[in-house]
Amino acid sequence: LAIHGKVAELRSPRFEGELSLRGPLLGELQASGSMARNDPAIEAELDWVWSGARAERLAESIDGLDRSISVQGLLGGRGRLWGELLRPRVEGEIHADAASVAIPGEAGPELREGRAAAGFAWSPQEPELLLRSLELEGLLHVNRLDPVRVRLDGSGSFSPRKGLARLREATLELDDLARLRLEGAWSAESDPPVHARVGLDETDLAALRARLKPLTGDPLPGYSLTGSLRSALSVGWRPGGAWDCTGEFLIGGPGLSSEDGSRVLQAMDTTLTVAAESAGPGAGASLDASAPLEGFLLLWGTLFGDWSERTGRLDLRAELPPEGEPGEETSRWTARLMLDLDDGPRIRAGLADSG
C-alpha cells in the first residue's frame, strides 16, 4: 500500500492525493482524488485504474466455480468512486484481454483469442454487481468443427459472495451462420448450476449441415437439403461437463433432393420436439426427437405422390457412443428412424456413420 498526498484543515481533515494498492490476487489498483471528514462519515471522490490482475487467480477464489474449467486472461478497468467511504458507489468499465475459457475433455468447447468489456455499477445497498453493455468476442473451437468467430452482446449481474451470475437479453452471433438469443444464470447452490434459455433465429439448413459435417459426417450423401430452422431450448450444465437440453425446433419448408433431381421430397412446416443429454466429455450423448407430419410431396424416380393432405408422425432416437481407446474404431453416431403415416404405411430405418 502506497499513499502520496497532503492533508489540510486539521479541524476538518481533508486528504488530496494518490493511493496505490498491489497484491497477487487483485493486481494493482491506483486511485487519485480526495477524502474529507463529514461527521460522522468520511466522504470520498476518487478516480481509479485497475490493472495486472489474472483471471485464473480470481476464478480460483470464487466459491462454487467448477475447478475443471480453465480460465485465463488479463483483467483491468477504470472508473469512479464517490460517497461515504464505507458505503460508496462505484461505476466504471472493466475488460479482459488475451482471454480463454476451456471445458475439459477432447470434445469440450474452448474460446481462444478472447476479449471482453462491460460497464458496471455497484454499491453496498445492491446485492449484485450490475453489468451493462457487455461485449465478448473470440474464436470458438468445438471438437472437429472448424473454428467459429463469435460475438456476444448483452447485460447481466454478478455476486461473488453469493456465487451467482446472470446473463440477460443477450445475443450471440456465430460468424454469418447463426444468431442466438440467450438468457441464463450460474448459481453455486442450484442443480444444475448453469441453466440457460436459448433461442435460435432463422437459420438456413443447408449452411448448418455444411458446418456440422466434420462432426456428424454426411448421412445423406448425394442429396441437397433445403429449409430453415429456428429453436427455443432450455439447457442445463453440471460440473465435469454433463449437460441436458430440451425444447423445440421449428422447421420451415424442409426438403430433400438428389443431385440429378430424380428424387425429391418436399414436406410442410413442422415442429420437432427434442430431449438430449450427455454425462460429460467423452461419455457419449443421446437424442430423442418427434414431430407431427402435416403432409408432403414425393418424386422418386417414376413414382410421384401428392400426400399434402396426409398426416403422420416422425420419431428419431440417435446415440453418440462413448469415446473408445486410442486407435479403436467406433461409429460416430447411430440412429433409429420411425415414420408412421395415418392409414399406413409404417417405415423403420437404421442409420450409422463410422467416420
Reported as a single tens digit per residue, the pLDDT across 57-79 is 888 877 666 677 789 999 999 99
> Does residue 355 have a pLDDT over 70?
no
Question: What pLDDT score was predicted for residue 134?
Answer: 92
b/e per residue 174-202 (b: at least 16 CB within 10 A): beeebebebbbbbbeeeebbbbbebebee
Whether the per-residue pLDDT at 120 is higher than 90: the answer is yes
Q: State the pLDDT at residue 12.
A: 61
**pLDDT at residue 327 in the model:** 52
| Average pLDDT of the residues in 196-202 | 94
Phi, psi for 284 (deg, rounded to 5):
85, 180
Percent of the residues in the chain that have a pLDDT greater than 90, as a whole number: 39
**Could you tell me which residue, 237 or 80, shows the higher pLDDT?**
80
Range with the lowest mean pLDDT among 154-158, 226-230, 329-333?
329-333
**Cα dist. 203→153, 226, 253 in Å?**
19, 11, 12
Give tens-digit pLDDT for 219-253: 778 889 999 999 999 999 887 778 899 999 999 99
For 256-296, the pLDDT digits (tens) are 899 998 999 888 899 999 999 988 777 788 999 999 988 88
Q: Between residues 144 and 73, which one has the greater pLDDT?
A: 73
pLDDT mean over 135-153: 90
State the Cα–Cα distance between residues 219 and 198, nearest whole angstrom: 27
**If we measure between CA atoms, which residue out of 66, 52, 135 comes closest to residue 101?**
66
pLDDT at 3: 61
CA atoms of 30 and 4, how far apart (whole Å): 11
Contact in structure between 338 and 288 (CB atoms under 8 Å):
no
Identify which has the larger pLDDT, 187 or 324.
187
Mean pLDDT of 288-309: 86
pLDDT of residue 9: 58
Asked if 269 and 251 count as a contact pair (C-beta separation under 8 A), the reply is yes
Q: Are 180 and 172 in contact (CB under 8 A)?
A: yes
| Rounded Cα–Cα distance for residues 161 and 155 (Å) | 20
Q: pLDDT averaged over the chain? A: 85
